[in-house]
Structure 1
Amino acid sequence: MAKLALCFLVAFAALAHFTNAYKWRSWNLATQVKSITWENCDSGKLPGTIKSLSISPDPVSIPGEVTVSVVLNTEVPLSSPLQIKISAEKELFGEWLTAPCIDHFGSCTYDDVCDLLDAFFKPGQQCPGPLKTYGLPCHCPFRAGSYSLPTTNFKIPSFNLPSWLAEGNYRVTGILSHKNQEIGCAKFSFTLSEPSSWWW
């Protein structure tokens, strides 16, 4: 994907990479992600915007399956270096506390998404899965235009989560920039929980 799609692409790829690369506390019960909401920062006035985004079901279970469709638009082409700055917060007793960057997870800055994409998807090879199916690029540079991922199902495997990522309400802001020029910004909020169980 391109532009703000990079945020999603890198987020999913980085999550899979880092959960395998680092030893974190394992959650034995299934985790649920529910009440997911999103919005463009600055009322969508930046060159890169999310036009639409649908994630179902609600809640999304981990492990489990998720259905995603997204339409993104960028008015400018982008090339390396592309920086993504992630700010993650958790609600605690009515206050929002910033989650630190620990082992590349949390409120972290990724200096060049292009390098990360090249690490996940080797240059010269075809883009995988639905990216290939729908003609979406997975390497820099990216042309200006609209990018659409139709309704697509993904399987979410079981994986370990960092110890601070416990049940509760979260909000995450991602800012995409090129040479200190802000290109796109999106805000997400969601709730993490474990499904209730009855024991007899």
Structure 2
Amino acid sequence: MDKCVTLTVLLSVVAAVLQPQVNCTSFSLKKVRNLQVQGFDWKNCGQPDVPAVLKTLTLSPDPIAIPGDLTASATGSTSVELAAPLSLNVILEKEVAGFWVKVPCVEELGSCHYQDACDILNQLIPPGQDCPEPLHTYGLPCRCPFKAGSYSLPQSDFYLPYVELPYWLTNGNYRVQGVLASQGKELGCLKVSLSIHSN
């Protein structure tokens, strides 16, 4: 799932966890001045024959500073077109006292099921707008549908701005699993683990 599909899965997972459009006043959102993400790791978690897979993903530096600069490259492929509706099932776990605890879905944050990941992408990048850089430069799509084929994001630089996070998501070790499906058939699965530290 080339750069586009790769980033689609990643954006969908990230958007599901940190979806900026959600009204989260009950979460006591706070603007994080200095945030570090370290120990970022990922792997495919689907069956060997799932159509959408992430082949490579490299992020630097480690730790990743937010706000700050990020360098990323990725490759992937999908053997089928990825078109709406694409359901996304997210499981978010946080390590607490040595045990992994599932974070419940509250106000569309946490371990949630989303009816259509394409809608999430449309909220992040409204239809009619150009895809953000560097996707635009490389001619990569940023919203559904994603045609079958291979995708590649050459090493590219991004700036990560300040973020607002729920108080419970500002420090700790996390695991996130995202399963993309269509009409009950699993299309791809990605697991991400990372540590978040802020002050």
- Percent of residue pairs bearing the same amino acid type: 42
Q: What is the one-letter code of the residue matched to 2:172?
A: G
Residue in structure 2 matching 1:120, options 120, 124, 127: 124
Q: Following TM superposition, by how much is the alpha carbon of 1:2 offset from its aligned partner in structure 2, in angstroms? A: 4.3
Q: Is the 8 A contact 1:32 1:60 kept in 2?
A: yes
Aligned to 1:153: 157
SS in 1 for 2:168: coil
1:78 aligns to 2:82 (yes or no): yes
- Comparing 116-125 with 145-154, which one deviates more in the overlay? 116-125
RMSD, aligned α-carbons: 2.2
Aligned to 1:6: 8
Distance 1:95 1:16, change over 3 A: closer
Q: Is the 8 A contact 1:7 1:84 kept in 2?
A: no
Aligned to 2:197: 193
1:163 aligns to 2:164 (yes or no): no
Give the Cα–Cα distance (whole angstroms) in 1 for the partners of residues 196 and 187 of structure 2. 29
Q: Is the 8 A contact 1:18 1:104 kept in 2?
A: no
Point out where structure 2 has 5 or more consecutive residues left out of the alignment.
none
Q: Is the 8 A contact 1:40 1:186 kept in 2?
A: yes
Give the Cα–Cα distance (whole angstroms) in 1 for the partners of residues 31 and 129 of structure 2. 35
Residue in structure 1 matching 2:70, options 43, 66, 69: 66
Point out where structure 1 has 5 or more consecutive residues left out of the alignment.
196-200
Aligned to 2:110: 106
1:130 aligns to 2:130 (yes or no): no
Q: Normalising to structure 2: TM-score of the pair?
A: 0.87
Q: Is the 8 A contact 2:72 2:155 kept in 1?
A: yes
Aligned to 2:51: 47
Distance 1:120 1:151, change over 3 A: same
Distance 1:174 1:28, change over 3 A: closer
Q: Normalising to structure 1: TM-score of the pair?
A: 0.86
